[in-house]
Amino acid sequence: MGDDHANSRAPVGAGETPGRVRVLLPLPLAEAYDYSVPNGLRLAPGDYVQVPLGNRELTGVVWGPATGRVAADRLKPVIARHDAPPLPEVGRSFVDWVAAYVMSPPGAVLKMTLSAPAALEPPRPVLAYRRGTVDIADARLTPARRRVLEVLGDGPPRLPVELAREAGCGTGVLKGMAEIGLIEAVALPARPSGLRRPDGSGTRVELSPDQAAAARTLREQVQGGGFGVTLLDGVTGSGKTEVYFEAIAEALEAGRQVLVLLPEIALSAQWLRRFEARFGVPPVEWHSDLTSAQRRSTWRAVAEGEARVVVGARSALFLPYPELGLIVVDEEHEQAFKQEEGVIYHARDMAVVRARLGEIPIVLVSATPSLESSVNADQGRYRRIHLPGRHGSAVLPAIECIDLRLDRPERQRFLSPTLKLAIAETVAAGEQAMLFLNRRGYAPLTLCGYCGHRLECPNCTAWLVEHRLAGRLQCHHCGYSTELPARCPACETEGSFRACGPGVERIAEEVAESFPGLRAIVMASDLIHGPIQAAELVRQIESHEVDLVIGTQLVAKGYHFPLLTLVGVVDADLGLAGGDLRATERTYQLLHQVAGRAGRAERPGRVLLQTYMPEHPVLQALVEGDRDGFLAREVDARALRGMPPFGRLVALVVSGPDAGLVDRVAANLGRTAPRADGVEVLGPAPAPLAVLRGRHRRRLLLKAGRGVRVQPVVADWLSRVSVPGSVRVTVDVDPYSFL
Ligand code: ADP
Ligand code: ZN
């Protein structure tokens, strides 16, 4: 492996423990391990190295000087250093910081950075052919072979596929020719990623005075550099995207990389197109739908600074940027930024940390900022930029409640007469409508009409959801799926099942009955397989091949459909039932976001919320357009109860297959709960999802004052309770899910 990144590297551990380094491995180990450095190998912090572990070989990162705790003769040597730009210091301190904050082993966090280890292998040379040294009289050549030689001439080596295509033969012909020396294989160095760099060459809109002022502030922030958080707060359609594009342009001009976090990157076709229109090339994408080859080349392009703008979901935050100069978190209030499995972290919060460590600006963007960000702005920790109105002639939609107690749908139907009339009027006017229901499938509950037996998941405390299009019952928690049984498992009555309540598929059925000939589509995550299909549906809506869109929260996000003027929310009460800490905030944000899909162009929009409790403060705030009043009341309520962001929460979930063991560990945790000042522990109590994937679950919640450093308190607590191997205690710092 070469040494071309060696110039600026100070060797590790000068004067400390020579010949040794500490290497962090991408595994959930408690700490980094020492390795000896073979003679002749120079290593610096951040270098990617190949090391032995047991009888395996792994890629790790040189983390610093060795601890020196292991005897020299027991140390294993580093095998080799990979030829790649080292993980910059800020990337390493970020891994350490996140690990300490979320209470995960640093190696588990490093694994998110080392997310494409194959990218570290030397790029494979490319095979090409040129004319060989053997000459055979033309007459003895087959026509195909003659054409190959003609195409090659005395020119440079050609790639096999191109050569075969031009010569009109198969690549087998080339192999045969190479064997007898008519042509000769040569290895060309791998081609560079070939990524074109985004520039400001695309079309720019003429910013309104408000937008221009906002853009100027952001540009200044980027120019000045240094850490700073800006909350870009403006109603949907006010041009927030156009404004932060200006900040991106500024960072690119300054030669810095940019990261944009979007909650649902796989479904962001419109955003990608807008980016390309503005910057001349598409951004580099990072999400779970990439092939392994794409991951490899993208990771490498980021590490080498070839990728200038990366747009991605949570995990893009951990890529090894050498020159990151700006982070944008769009829809910053979205709960999708919270990763709930593996390393449990909030990507928005960690993005702020990454910006602080890198001393760069970060922009949080939302029409309905999270309460946390809002309070930070009010208290002066974040700068707030406000975009007051919709761009151009577009006005905010009128929002009204439909009181389902008075305006009743027919039996076993879910659309009220008023909503149906509005749909008919909208479509008759040549416009489009959207029905929003945040529930996949046909019906959330299926029960036996004879004995009342409910079909439940065998692995979870959850009902099975009927998906009629797929002909299955599914558990939305563990993925369990089965056919609808012919007879009730409890009373054995045949054909007695009844669907209770609506999912989007059932709404689609009602629409088809009520509006024959209406062109309706359903958009839900289980019905859309990948970004290409999503983009196709978006195209159909944009080109008015569709009159009505029925969708889950998938459709709430960021789309801009000029002809869409009516949004009907089938069940506005849905999110309010659970009553957890963030239920009202989340419902407000979601409904506001959905409402924001209506009337985004010249035609004004209308939003109808079907509800049984029109007097509920969340719905009142939506109808009155009183976002700030709503937020203020919510802030007061949280402050009064010492809830985040005025206090801190850490959730512990104890889980395991044996309910008795789980209870014992949970009870021990309850007994040993910390009793420090300003710290309070609630529970243990059975989790709302008391069984998940066959594991019994108990919850404890630690609540502490804002000034308390909770991590040492929790670490000390956990160290005093012994946990058998089959039981797991999951720590969730700043929990968002209370299931
Ligand atoms: P937001 O991100 O706040 O929802 P967008 O940036 O998506 O708003 O803007 C909404 C729509 O209005 C987009 O189609 C955008 O291109 C258009 N738009 C916003 N500002 C302008 C402007 N100054 N000139 C022309 N079109 C604009
Ligand atoms: Zn299940």
Residue 203: predicted pLDDT: 79
Burial class (CB in 10 A: 0-12, 13-18, 19+), 290: middle
Specify the amino acid at residue 399. I
For the Cβ of 560 lying below 6 angstroms from any atom of ligand 1, the answer is yes
Fold match, 393-439+503-645 / 647-733 = no
* Å from CA of 401 to ligand 1 middle: 28
Say how far apart CA 690 and CA 461 lie, in whole Å: 6
The number of the ligand 1 atom at minimal distance from the alpha carbon of 394 is 12
Fold of 2-90+105-114: GIY-YIG endonuclease (3.40.1440)
User: By the 8 A CB rule, do 313 and 346 touch?
Assistant: no
Instruction: For residues 437 and 572, give the distance between their C-alpha atoms in angstroms, rounded to a whole number.
Output: 8
Question: Which of 395, 370, 196, 392 lies closest to 284 in space, CA to CA?
Answer: 196
* Ligand 1 pocket check for 278: Cβ under 6 Å: no
Take residue 80 and report the two structure tokens written for it. Answer: 């080799």
- Whether 239 lines ligand 1, by a CB cut-off of 6 Å, is yes
CA of 584 to the centre of ligand 2 (A): 26
Domain 209-387, CATH: 3.40.50.300
Q: What is the whole-number distance in angstroms between the Cα of residue 286 and the centre of ligand 2? A: 30
Atom 14 of ligand 1, residue of closest alpha carbon: 560
- pLDDT, residue 289, reads 82
**Degrees (nearest 5) of the Cα angle 716, 722, 724?**
140
Residue with CA closest to ligand 1 atom 15:
239
- Residue 697 alpha carbon to ligand 2 centre in Å: 13
CA 692–ligand 2 middle distance (angstroms): 6
Residue 54's CB: how many other CB atoms inside 10 A?
A: 7
The closest-lying atom of ligand 1 relative to the alpha carbon of residue 387 is 3
Would you tell me how many other CB atoms lie within 10 Å of the CB of residue 678? 14
Which residue's CA is the closest to the ligand 1 atom numbered 11? 237
What number does the ligand 1 atom closest to the CA of 241 have? 6
pLDDT of residue 191: 54
Domain boundaries, the chain: 2-90+105-114, 126-188, 209-387, 393-439+503-645, 441-501, 647-733
Is any ligand 1 atom within 6 A of the Cβ of residue 237? yes
Six token digits for residue 240: 């927030």
Please give the full DSSP string across 154-212, using - where no structure is assigned. Answer: TS--B-HHHHHHHHTS-HHHHHHHHHTTSEEEEEEPPPP--PPPP-TTS------HHHH
Give dist(CA 314, CA 265) in Å, integer: 10
CATH number, domain 647-733: 3.30.70.600
Distance 688 CA to ligand 1 centre (A): 42
Rounded Cα distance between 310 and 252, Å, is 12
Fold category of 393-439+503-645 in CATH: Rossmann fold (3.40.50)
| Neighbouring C-beta atoms of residue 574, cutoff 10 Å | 19
Neighbours of 76 (CB within 10 A): 14
Any bridge partners for residue 68, and if so which?
none
For residue 6, what pLDDT is reported?
41
Q: Phi, psi at residue 250, to the nearest 5°?
A: -60, -45
> Tokens 């041009």 identify what position?
239
- pLDDT tens for 86-122 read 999 999 999 999 999 999 999 999 999 999 988 888 7
* Mean of all residue pLDDT scores within the chain: 90
Give 480's DSSP letter.
-
Q: How many whole angstroms separate alpha carbon 594 and alpha carbon 439?
A: 14
**3-class DSSP state for residue 306?**
coil
- Which residue, 276, 208, 270, is CA-closest to 243? 208
Rg, C-alpha atoms of the chain = 30
240 ligand 1 Cβ < 6 A: yes
494-524 residues labelled b (16+ CB within 10 A) or e (exposed): eebbebebbbbbbbbebbeeebeeeebbbbb
Burial track 11-45 (b if 16+ CB lie within 10 A, e otherwise) = ebbeeebebbbbbbbbeeeeebbbbbbeeebebbb
Max CA pair span of the chain: 97
Atom of ligand 1 nearest to the CA of 243: 6
**Closest protein CA for atom 6 of ligand 1:** 239
Q: Give me the pLDDT at residue 642, please.
A: 92
Q: Is the CB of 597 under 6 A from ligand 1?
A: no
Q: Give the C-alpha separation, 352 to 369, whole Å.
A: 15
Q: Is 242 in the pocket of ligand 1 (CB under 6 A)?
A: yes
- Which tokens is 481 given? 């799926």
User: In sequence order, which residues have a C-beta less than 8 Å from that of residue 448 and are 6 or more positions away?
Assistant: 454, 488, 490, 491, 493, 496, 497, 498
Q: What is the pLDDT of residue 558?
A: 67
Instruction: Give the distance (Å) from ligand 2 centre to CA of residue 529.
Output: 22
Q: Which ligand is nearest to the CA of 476?
A: 2
Residue-wise pLDDT for 1-60, tens only, equals 434 444 445 555 444 456 899 999 999 998 899 999 998 899 999 999 999 999 999 999
Q: What is the pLDDT of residues 175-215, one digit of tens each?
A: 999 999 999 988 876 655 567 888 776 778 899 999 999 99
Q: What is the mean pLDDT of each run of 10 residues along the chain (739 residues)?
A: 43 58 94 92 94 94 88 89 95 97 97 92 79 80 90 87 88 91 83 71 86 96 94 91 96 96 79 92 90 89 95 95 97 94 96 98 96 95 91 80 96 96 96 95 94 94 93 92 93 93 96 96 86 86 96 81 93 84 89 84 88 95 92 93 94 97 97 92 93 96 94 96 95 92
Who's near 82: CB < 8 A, 6+ residues apart?
Answer: 1, 47, 48, 49, 50, 59, 120, 121
- Closest residue by Cα to atom 17, ligand 1, is 239
Length of the chain (residues): 739
* Beta-strand pair 472-474/465-467: antiparallel
Ligand located closest to 557 CA: 1
**Which pLDDT score, from 0 to 100, does residue 8 have?**
44
Supply the pLDDT for residue 682.
94
| 593 within ligand 1 shell (Cβ under 6 A) | no
Instruction: Report the C-alpha gap between 94 and 693 in whole angstroms.
Output: 33
Give yes or no for residue 241 CB within 6 A of ligand 1: yes
Q: Specify whether the CB–CB gap between 607 and 399 falls below 8 A.
A: yes
Global pTM value: 0.86
Phi/psi for 473 (5° steps) reads: -105, 135
Return the residue whose CA atom lies nearest to atom 23 of ligand 1.
207
Which tokens belong to 277?
């229109």
Name the residue of 207, 274, 391 to mutate for ligand 1: max ligand atoms within 8 A of Cβ.
391
pLDDT of residue 554: 81
Q: Which ligand approaches the C-alpha of residue 480 most closely?
A: 2
Instruction: Compute, in angstroms, the gap from residue 737 CA to the centroid of ligand 2.
Output: 17
CB of 661 within 8 A of CB of 651? no
Ligand 1 site-directed mutation target among 241, 332, 368, most atoms within 8 Å of CB: 241
If you measure from the C-alpha of residue 462 to the centroid of ligand 2, how many angstroms do you get, rounded to a whole number?
Answer: 6
Residue 473 CA to ligand 2 centre (angstroms): 11
Instruction: State in Å: Cα 690 to ligand 2 middle.
Output: 11
Determine if ligand 1 sits within 6 Å of the CB of residue 391: yes
Beta bridge partners of 126: 188
Q: Which atom of ligand 1 is nearest to the CA of 208?
A: 23
Q: Which ligand places an atom closest to the C-alpha of 210?
A: 1
Helix segments in 254-370, DSSP class H: 269-279, 292-303, 347-358
Predicted local distance difference test score (pLDDT) of residue 440: 94
